[in-house]
Structure 1
């Protein structure tokens, strides 16, 4: 497989996952607007910009750090390469140039997704329509991923898609966890009795993992248990541990197929979450270290298979 084709498949998978998880990330805060009385919790939407390491780009574009500007930046801003509209455009462009290795139906779905985003992106800026818009992005992204999963032969093309999807998913899972921790850390004094259960419940629901958590953990929703579940549960497809295993499998298969590349080192930093851990500054520092380690995985992939001679 040509290096440029492999790289475009890798980035198509990353951008598709990024669009879906950006929608999930926004939904965490959006749901809290309805679940918590306004006078009980002052949500700093700018946390979402910090979590995406995009403060510099945001501050060049906007002077006010309010809900509308943050959501606009994450949904429709063309200057933000991680916005939903930018990510979907990138998916389409990367798959347009690799149509000979993907099913025709996948190309049709990409175009339908792109058309939907073009027509309805501004719905994401309005609270009344935002939930429907975000849900549609998530469901259409999952439909495309499902089509690729169910039809592609497990050759090099599939392995690069798998690499991109799981590297991006692991990274975004850490950011969604950080979103929950940030709300609690920045709002130490609540007038309500137990907001933590509500916040971590929304984190689980944003990942589609609420029922899986209840079945596996068999306890009420607690921050320490949620963090362990989304980080360490090897049977959960959106956990960091599961993604790490998938990355290792794909990298090993590609290394064996090429016969000349070194396997990617997939070891990630470990953090022991105590039973009563409040998931404060130490936990958030760990998530930052984890994101840096995932970024190093990306660099290894680029140096192994996409480096230009």
Structure 2
């Protein structure tokens, strides 16, 4: 299998997962804003921080209001992290490698991109926003289900799984970091009256609320929610579960030693995390998430260096030195 094909499939899956997670996050935030009084600190501004678009947003917009944030995250092609940009990149990555996947997968990606683009052009006001986000979420789910149900278990499927699960772990850590920062008390007596509702929104952002109620069977509390989202071995969107899926996929590939070692290190950090210390201090949580993000970056780099080498990286060291000379 050509490294170019593997890389395109890997990134296609990452972009689809990114679009779905962003749509879920915006949808839950929209509904949460209706339940909270205006004085609550949780608002649209946090959405920009979660997606890492602070600098790009500041260059394009003057104010972090709901209209600007939704446009930036959903339909602004100038934002490489927007839903429309992610779907465009997914479509382009698959367009050049569509001969290795069932034709229905390409048709679904193309239809999803065209449909979402048409919705975005019609406007994303409060009345149309929910329809747009549901279309994105259901379209991405349908595509993932189509891949799972039609694509043979081989290298193309393996690289798609790697991309999807690594992106899922990354988005989960981002949501936990920004969404939890203002929920955890800065002082022992600093308890927000809407804390229960906001922790529920964290779970719902990851479609994890019902599974939390079934498996944890406790009221929604900070320690239990963080433990569930970080360390649960069965929840599909838990960081631990995603990293286990990454490791399993890597074992199916040749030359996996470096990447698998990186995945094992990140998973160990998650499994050994002191959740109670994080709940006591937002700074501890933020520092842990930063470390985790660095680890996920190293994991991606290990995968890229092993399976998606540039022409120079594909050469042996003596050959590369000779060519550079």
TM-score by length of 1: 0.91
**Partner SS, residue 183 of structure 2:** helix
Does the CA contact (< 8 Å) of 2:278 and 2:285 recur in 1?
A: no
Q: How does 1:126-205 map to 2 (within 5 A)?
A: 126-184=125-183, 194-205=193-204
Q: How does 1:247-258 map to 2 (within 5 A)?
A: 247-255=246-254
Separation of aligned partners in 2, 1:187 and 1:128: 37
Q: CA offsets, 1:43-89, max 9 Å, x none?
A: 34222222222212111112222222122111111121110000001
**Corresponding residue of 1:67:** 66
Separation of aligned partners in 1, 2:281 and 2:112: 37
Deviation at 1:187, TM superposition (A): 10
**Partner SS, residue 281 of structure 1:** helix
Does the CA contact (< 8 Å) of 2:9 and 2:93 recur in 1?
A: yes
1:94–1:216: structure 2 CA closer, same or farther, 3 Å change rule? same
**Corresponding residue of 1:286:** 288
Deviation at 1:41, TM superposition (A): 1.7
Separation of aligned partners in 2, 1:179 and 1:260: 33
Does the CA contact (< 8 Å) of 1:9 and 1:161 recur in 2?
A: yes
**Corresponding residue of 1:29:** 29
**Corresponding residue of 1:302:** 304
Does the CA contact (< 8 Å) of 1:74 and 1:83 recur in 2?
A: yes
Separation of aligned partners in 1, 2:132 and 2:308: 35
1:261–1:222: structure 2 CA closer, same or farther, 3 Å change rule? closer
Separation of aligned partners in 1, 2:41 and 2:227: 27
Does the CA contact (< 8 Å) of 1:123 and 1:130 recur in 2?
A: no
Deviation at 1:2, TM superposition (A): 0.6
Q: How does 1:268-283 map to 2 (within 5 A)?
A: 268=266, 269-270=269-270, 271-274=273-276, 277-278=279-280, 280-283=282-285
Deviation at 1:214, TM superposition (A): 0.6
CA-based RMSD: 2.4
**Partner SS, residue 5 of structure 1:** helix
**Partner SS, residue 275 of structure 2:** coil
Separation of aligned partners in 2, 1:173 and 1:106: 26
Separation of aligned partners in 2, 1:73 and 1:285: 28
Separation of aligned partners in 2, 1:75 and 1:214: 31
Does the CA contact (< 8 Å) of 1:31 and 1:202 recur in 2?
A: no
**Partner SS, residue 279 of structure 2:** coil
Does the CA contact (< 8 Å) of 2:196 and 2:220 recur in 1?
A: yes
Q: CA offsets, 1:127-176, max 9 Å, x none?
A: 22222221221111011001101111111101100100000000001112
Structure 1 range deviating more: 102-111 or 163-172 = 102-111
Does the CA contact (< 8 Å) of 1:16 and 1:91 recur in 2?
A: yes
Structure 1 range deviating more: 67-76 or 173-182 = 173-182
1:222–1:49: structure 2 CA closer, same or farther, 3 Å change rule? same
Q: How does 1:218-257 map to 2 (within 5 A)?
A: 218-255=217-254
Greater C-alpha Rg: 2
Does the CA contact (< 8 Å) of 1:47 and 1:182 recur in 2?
A: no
Separation of aligned partners in 2, 1:251 and 1:276: 31
1:107–1:276: structure 2 CA closer, same or farther, 3 Å change rule? closer
Separation of aligned partners in 1, 2:43 and 2:205: 18
**Corresponding residue of 1:113:** 112
Does the CA contact (< 8 Å) of 2:259 and 2:303 recur in 1?
A: no
**Corresponding residue of 1:76:** 75
**Partner SS, residue 277 of structure 1:** helix
- Structure 2 residues not aligned, in runs of 5+: 312-325
TM-score by length of 2: 0.87
